[in-house]
Amino acid sequence: MSSLLDSLLHPPTHQALVVRSLLNTTAEERERILEDVEYNIFAFPAGLVACDYLSDSGTSAMTDLQWSALFRGDESYGRNWGYYCLLEACRDIFERGNDRQYAAHGVVTGVADVEFYRSKLLKPYEGGFVNGGPCQLERPNFFIVPQGRCAEFLLFSTLKDAIAERQQEVSQTPRVVISNGFFDTTGANAAAAGFALETFTQPGLTDPFPEELVGKENPFKGNLDVAATEAYLNEHAEVCLILMTITNNWAAAQPVSMGNIRAAANLARRKSIPFFFDACRFAENAWFIREFESGYSNKTIPEIVQEMFSYVDGFTISLKKDGLSNMGGILSFKDDSLFARRYEGIGVSLKERQILFYGNDSYGGMSGRDMMASVVGLYEVTKEPYLRTRINQVRSFAQKLQSRGVAVLSPPGGHAVYLDMDDFFYGCDRYPGDFPALGFTLELLKDYGIRAAEAGPFGWEWDKKTPKLQALIPNLVRFAVPRHVLSDQHISYTVAAIKELHNRRHLIPNVEITRGKNSRLRHFSAGMKPIPVSRAMGGTYLSEAKRQIFHLSGALDQGPSDHLVSALETSTVDWGHSPIPQGVDLLRWVPQVSNDHSPFEYSVVLDQKTGEAELRFLIEAQPLEEAESEGILTQLQSAALNLTDRIANEYNTRVSLNRFNTIRDIFMPSNPEGFFAAWHSYASGKDGPEWKIYLNPSCTPGRDNAIYTTRTAFERIGLAESWAVVESTMTPNESVVYFSLDLSSDMDHARAKVYVSHGVTSASTIAEKHASICPHADTYEIQRFCEILGDGSLGPYGGKPLLSCFAFTSKTPSQPIGTVHFPISAYADNDEQIQARIEQYMDAVSVSPLYRKRYRKMISAVQRRPLNRGKGIHAWVSLKQAAGGKHSNTFYISPDLFSSA
C-alpha cells in the first residue's frame, strides 16, 4: 500500500494535447483480417488495433520539445547541423554526467554562429565515444544508422572482416559472442555474420518474487552470470566480444546492476575481450540502479549513466527506445579502447560500410528531422520525473494483473509486462511445441483488438533447439508499453481482457506453423493457423487422479507427488484402470464422496498466517464390477474393508487398526443402509503418511440410531466423556453424519472426529455451539467466515446444511479442535462467484500472500472450464481454529470429471 501511495503522491509529469481516434471493429471483422494475414500478428493492420503492445520501438509519443526541435531539422546532405547536435548530445548523455554543455540548444534556438561552431561543434574531441572535428575524420568512432538493428549489422559484419584480416585466414572455429541475453535481431545479425552465440543470464529469471516487495526491492534478474561466463572463458579462447543488454530485453526487460556491469568489465579486461552495451533502454536501467542498488539513491540519473558507460568499450543503441524517437540508431566505441586498439582502423571500415549501406556519415539514413527529435529525446528520457512515470506505469500494469490472479514475470521490468504463460496455462497440459502462448495472442487480438507479442517457444524457435537449449527458453508473452501513449483506461481494458482469457484458457487454441517454419526471424513472416483444443475427457480414473495430484502438488510447491501417487495406486488397485465414462447415470447408484459424483475428492489445507499447505485426497473404494443400486452398499462395504486391510499391510509402520477393529461391527452391519459405507483419506504428513477412515453413523437408519452408534463408538475407544459434551448441545434439527478415525499407531495423538449437520440454523448459533465445546473457538471469526461465504448472510441457512467437526484425542479429551464446514457450492450460482467470495474472505482476514497465491493456483490445477460456466469445483470450505490463534482453511475440491451437483 505504501508503494501505491508513493506513486500517487508524485504529481503528473505531462499533459496530452493531441489525440488520435480509433476505429471501432468487431471480433468477427478482426477474425476475417487474421485469416487474410495468415494469423501473423505482425501483418495485422495497426489501424484496426485498439491497444498495441507489439513493441515500444519507435512507437513513443514525442514531447513538445521534440516537436519543436523537429521543425529545426536540417536535411542538408553534408554535415547538417543535426549531425553536430547528435554528437554533442551523446557526449553529454554518455560521458559528461552532471557537467552537460547542452550545445545543441544553441542550434535549436537559432543562436549558433561561426564562433559557436568553432568553439563548440568543431572542437577536436578525442579519447571518448565521440571524436570531434578532424579526429572524427581521421579516427571515426561514431556512426549514425536508421535504427538499432542496423547498428548491430554494421558492428558484426565489420567485426567479422576485421577478425579475418587480423588472422590472415578464416578460422575453422566460429568466433563467439557472449551476452546476458541476445534479443532476436541482435542474435540474428551476429549469427548471420558467422558468430556463435553463448547466453549466460543470471539464474532465477522465472523464480517467484514476493508481490509485496515489488517497488521495494529488485534482484536484478537481467544480470550476466559472471561466474558461468568466466568458467566458459577459461575453456574457450575464441570469444571476441561480451555484449551486455541493458535492460535485458531477452530476460523480460529485467535490469542489470552496476555491480554486475563492473564485474563484467573487470572480467573482460582480465581476459582482454572487448565489452559492449546493447544500450537501447539505458535510461530505464539507470533508474533501477538508482532505486534499488545500494550506494546510488543519492546519485542523479546523468551520474549513473556516466558511470555505466565508463566501463564499456562501445555500444549500439536504438534511438527508437530510450531516445523517444520514431527512427534512429547509433554505433559508437571509445577512441582509446581495447576494441579500437585490437582492431586498428576498424572505424574507417565501419564508416565505409555505413556510407555504402545507409548513406553519408552525416545522417546515416536518418532524416534531419529525426536526428533533431532524437537529440532532444536523449535529454528528455534521462529526466527523473519522466522515468518515474514510465516505470510506475509498467509496474502498475503488472500489479493490476497480479491482483486479478494473472501471473507475470516479477518484479516487472522497465518497458514491458511479461505474462508467465507456464503459469497462465497451469493445469491445462499444454506443451511448448503446441505454441499455446501464440494462440493466446491471436485470441486477444481477435476478441479484444489488443496486440501483444509471444516471446517464448515460437519466437525463440524452441522446436529447432536441443533439449539443453529448450530448457533455457522462457515461456512468455510481452506487452511492450509505448512511452507517453497509453492511459489508465487502455491498461484497465487490457487487464480485463487478459483476465477474461485466463478464465477460459482451456479453450484457447494451439497454433500450427503452415509456412516459413525454418525462415530466419520467422515471427515476422511465418504463416500460421489456430488448432482447436479437444475438450474430451480421456484416460482412466487413476491416470486422471495422478494428473491432477501432480498439478496440485506443483501449485502448492510440494515437490514430487510420489507419496500421494503411491497412495492413490493403493486405493484404486481394483478399479483405478477403468476408463472414465462420459457421464453418470443418476438413476443408478453414484458416489457421493465428491460433488460431481467422482469416486474421489481433493482437499487442501492452508494456514492463514503462513500459507503453509497440506494436500490430501478422500476416496471411496469401488466394487470390482458395476452394480445395481440394490445391494451396492454391501459391495462397497467389502471394497472398503479390503482397502483398509491393504493400507494396514502396506503402511504397517504408520497404521494401526486397533481402534477401528473395536468399532468395526457397529459401522459394518450385515445389511447396511445410507449413502456410503466408508471413505478413506490420505495426507503426506510432516512425519509420514497419514490415513483416516470415514464411517457412516446412519448405516442403521434414523437420527437416534446415528447418535447411538456414535455414542457407542466413542465409549469403545475411551472417549465417552468427550462425546457427551457434544451430545448435550445437540438440538432436534441436528444430526450426526460422519464419524472419522485416524488409522494411526500413535494412540495418544490419533484423532476421533464427529461431524454434526446443523439443519436450518444461523451463523451465531453455530458459533455459540463451538464456543461451548472448543476452548479455542472465536465466535466473531466463525460468523465472519459464514457471512462472507454466504454472500453477506448470517443465516438461517436453508439450503444444504452446514457442518461442524469436533476432533478429540486421548491425550487431550476435553480440548477438542472445532472446524466449521460451509457447503459453498450450494449457496452460489457458479465457481466464479465462489472464488470472488473467497477472495473477499482472504482480504477480510488478511491472509499471507503465499496463501492467496496457492489458493489461486490450486484451483487452476484442477479447473477444466471457465469458472462462470458451472459450479462444483469448490465443494466445501472450512475454518479450523486451533490453539494459539492458529486458523486454517480447507478447500474441498471436486475433480470435475462429471457435471457437478
Are the C-beta atoms of residues 311 and 127 closer than 8 Å to each other? no
Which pLDDT score, from 0 to 100, does residue 899 have?
63
Which pLDDT score, from 0 to 100, does residue 1 have?
45
For residue 741, the cross-strand partners are 693, 752
Q: What is the dihedral of CA 585, 591, 594, 598, to 10 degrees?
A: -60
In what helix (H) or strand (E) does residue 373 lie, and over which residues does it extend? helix 368-380
* Residue 522 DSSP class: G
Which pLDDT score, from 0 to 100, does residue 171 have?
53
Largest pairwise CA distance in the chain? 113
Reduced to 3 states (helix: H, G, I; strand: E, B; else coil), residue 540 is: strand
CA dist 781 and 448 (Å) reads 42
Sign of CA dihedral 635, 636, 640, 641: negative
Q: Classify residue 846 as exposed, middle or buried by CB count within 10 Å of its CB (0-12, 13-18, 19+).
A: exposed
CA dist 108 and 877 (Å) reads 68
Q: HEC string of 816-842?
A: CEEEEEECHHHHCCCHHHHHHHHHHHH
Closest CA to 845 of 880, 810, 793, 805: 880
Q: Classify residue 336 as exposed, middle or buried by CB count within 10 Å of its CB (0-12, 13-18, 19+).
A: middle
Radius of gyration of the chain (CA): 34
CA dist 201 and 748 (Å) reads 53
Give the predicted TM-score (pTM) of the model: 0.89
Reduced to 3 states (helix: H, G, I; strand: E, B; else coil), residue 549 is: helix
**Residue 386 CB neighbours (<10 A):** 20
Reduced to 3 states (helix: H, G, I; strand: E, B; else coil), residue 862 is: helix
Sign of CA dihedral 511, 516, 517, 521: negative
For residue 288, the cross-strand partners are none
Closest CA to 555 of 845, 850, 877: 850
Are the C-beta atoms of residues 367 and 73 closer than 8 Å to each other? yes
* Residue 370 DSSP class: H
Q: Classify residue 33 as exposed, middle or buried by CB count within 10 Å of its CB (0-12, 13-18, 19+).
A: middle
Q: Report the chain (901 residues): mean pLDDT per 10 consecutive residues.
A: 57 85 93 96 94 93 93 93 95 97 92 92 93 94 95 96 76 82 90 94 90 93 96 93 94 95 97 96 97 96 98 96 93 95 94 94 94 96 95 95 93 94 93 94 97 92 89 91 93 96 94 91 91 86 95 91 94 92 79 92 97 96 70 90 96 94 94 92 90 95 94 96 94 96 92 96 96 95 98 95 96 93 96 96 96 94 90 95 94 85 41
Which pLDDT score, from 0 to 100, does residue 447 have?
97
C-alpha cell at 123: 572542437
CA dist 285 and 254 (Å) reads 8
